[in-house]
Structure 1
């Protein structure tokens, strides 16, 4: 691909970003491509399990083709609890372009005046971590992920397209997204509910016979001081606690993909990946499928939820999460993305995000807890993860969260 053509694709990607409106079903930008899904063609019926949802998606795509849709693609989001209703639809059109340029201008975002309420309060969250550690030390669990939320109420309706542009500008290496959670209703709502964010974590991508996953686990906050920042990254790469947490996730993802794959490459050690606010331990897993008919959503469903957002063993971790967390995660730590009629597609883990409805926002952040976790350190990790959204809203000095 020559430089001129590559430049044209990036210009087209910027056009898609500037063309996003809240009635768009999905905006999705990765390091590979940019998608903008517009209009409503069909709704994927809800289902009470991921297996049933896969059947609904397959049927919806076949029906769309049979009724004349030239390029049906299912887009949307699936909640943390796979038994709860997903928000999936087939848009009238999906516009595609190359990746957004990494040199997007970064004007300073204007602060959004708002009130902030923690759910639960920080010390209550730390107490929950201590309770989880006691379970882990009793060998009931290898890992559990505990989340908390921030409820923000702004003085005026949030400018979602502007917030999306800011997220894209600040998170060029991740997955910037906006999902219209009202899109599957097939009726335009006066105030749509939007899931917006910049996730660093690829759950799975399927292209023909090739499959890729990029689990992340083990994190450290970035520092504005280059020397300290570098030291934090190196310390993370040597941390026995974080390496163990990461290995639990990688082993689970590999085990989930292996039955579908003829070959599977799993690196022995993780590498460092960074976002604007965090260092992460990262492992890039790749493989070749036995059956090309296996869809991206089938693969994503086999992995969801990974120990990176739930824990291990899965059932015990879920039970403890339901006991400790004082809110329903909804789509947070679920998955979002797209799957076309060939089964190709890309699904990311729904983190570093917020749900927005008019003047109200709910932000989410979580931390992986293992037996030697420190409650205050895990609390600090969630505070750092909130910064992806808070910084994009201009709330750099939001105080202790």
Structure 2
């Protein structure tokens, strides 16, 4: 930091360090994020040390950040980080001290002098141990057998598609720099929701999700179907991508799932655009966008209604949802926690954008747990599905292991 008794000039890297230090030091919950295709960094902090939970009717909530695990909760509620303090700035600008809020600049000067080491110590101290053990969830043999069981369940007519997941544990290196890691992820993944959140006793997570679950703004509703995966290769991967029947069918199943949700609420007036090939990190996916005019359809609470209907989506669970979910609970062998759940800012500047929590990792002491899943259809190959999860783990893992990646 540039410190001579007080801040003189604060770069984006220094602001990130200040925000992380302030968040961890507060004793409460906080979240930091950059939405896709923007340079706008946002931060909010909740002073309450006991995590709060809320109903999914987010239209009634104050400004904040919502986090929900993959599995349905008995109380049907999500964790909520209320925006007691909120700050945002554009990453392409440096800021003078006078442009920063007082609550951010009154940080203890001793902490500022050793800010990066302080952040790492706090990260390790405040990242709770998991209530579950990884067990065999990260082993190739376990995962390929799980995929094979999925293929057999499809052949038996139990499910049409299932999305098994796995974990991968890596060490947080001695030179780990959270601020640099987060900033580099922002620069590397302009089309993803790059995020970090910490909820005391519950979890500390970092990610770069390419998938919007729901978005509401100015009476417009948006969701997407994202499925099919292949490595991005060549000089122009978007133009050279060739999709197999397996991947096309996988995408079609997710689209059908969204349309079925519209049918359940008798919504017939919607726009559908796609599928088109999009890039997320080092991977390509197929994406179809769905849009609804909430004012024209007389459906102002469409966002929370669809949130309840869509989660967990067929892209992270399978189809039919109940049968696929039951299969995963019986065979997957670990608790996904917030992986494949959803998260995002609600009611901030009249906008709510909630994402599926993909391409993500949780911090557990001096380790990071990476999570990845793969869509299994009748044409799946277990070894290729394992390779797909390895590629997905690299999206976050390479930045944790090497912040300058």
TM-score by length of 1: 0.76
**Is the 1:199–1:351 contact (alpha carbons within 8 Å) kept by the matching residues of 2?**
yes
Distance 1:368 1:214 in 2: 16
Partner of 1:363: 370
Partner of 1:331: 338
Moved more, 153-162 or 30-39: 153-162
Q: How many positions carry a matched residue from both structures? A: 342
2:56 to 51, 54, 57: 54
Q: Give deviations 1:146-199, integer Å, cap 9, x for gaps.
A: 0000122335495333321121121111110001122xx7xxxxxx84111101
SS of the residue corresponding to residue 326 of structure 2 reads: helix
1:37 to 34, 37, 44: 44
**Is the 1:38–1:91 contact (alpha carbons within 8 Å) kept by the matching residues of 2?**
yes
Mapped pair 1:200 → 2:206: no
Residues 341 and 171 of structure 1, relative CA distance in 2, 3 Å threshold: closer
- CA RMSD, Structure 1 to Structure 2 (Å): 3.2
Residues 197 and 38 of structure 1, relative CA distance in 2, 3 Å threshold: same
Distance 1:162 1:291 in 2: 45
Matches within 5 A, 1:163-312: 163-182=181-200, 193-223=203-233, 225-226=234-235, 229=237, 234-236=241-243, 239-257=244-262, 259=265, 263-267=269-273, 269-289=274-294, 290-291=297-298, 293-294=300-301, 296-312=303-319
**Is the 2:211–2:356 contact (alpha carbons within 8 Å) kept by the matching residues of 1?**
yes
Partner of 2:79: 87
Moved more, 146-155 or 339-348: 339-348
SS of the residue corresponding to residue 270 of structure 1 reads: strand
SS of the residue corresponding to residue 323 of structure 2 reads: helix
Q: Which runs of 4+ in 1 moved over 4 A?
A: 11-19, 41-45, 155-158
Partner of 1:134: 152
1:123 to 141, 163, 171: 141
Partner of 1:73: 63
Tell me by how many angstroms 1:208 deviates: 2.6
**Is the 1:40–1:89 contact (alpha carbons within 8 Å) kept by the matching residues of 2?**
no
Partner of 2:392: 385
Distance 1:271 1:230 in 2: 9
Distance 1:169 1:341 in 2: 23
Residues 243 and 14 of structure 1, relative CA distance in 2, 3 Å threshold: farther
TM-score by length of 2: 0.75
Task: Give ranges in structure 2 of 5+ residues lacking alignment.
Answer: 1-9, 93-119, 121-133
**Is the 1:26–1:177 contact (alpha carbons within 8 Å) kept by the matching residues of 2?**
yes
Task: Give ranges in structure 1 of 5+ residues lacking alignment.
Answer: 1-10, 48-52, 62-71, 102-111, 186-191, 397-401
Partner of 1:314: 321
Distance 1:265 1:121 in 2: 42
Residues 387 and 41 of structure 1, relative CA distance in 2, 3 Å threshold: same
Distance 1:82 1:117 in 2: 23
Distance 1:45 1:36 in 2: 18
Distance 1:129 1:262 in 2: 36
Moved more, 339-348 or 302-311: 339-348
Tell me by how many angstroms 1:306 deviates: 0.6
Distance 1:230 1:342 in 2: 33
Distance 2:221 2:13 in 1: 28
Distance 1:325 1:157 in 2: 34
Distance 2:310 2:397 in 1: 29
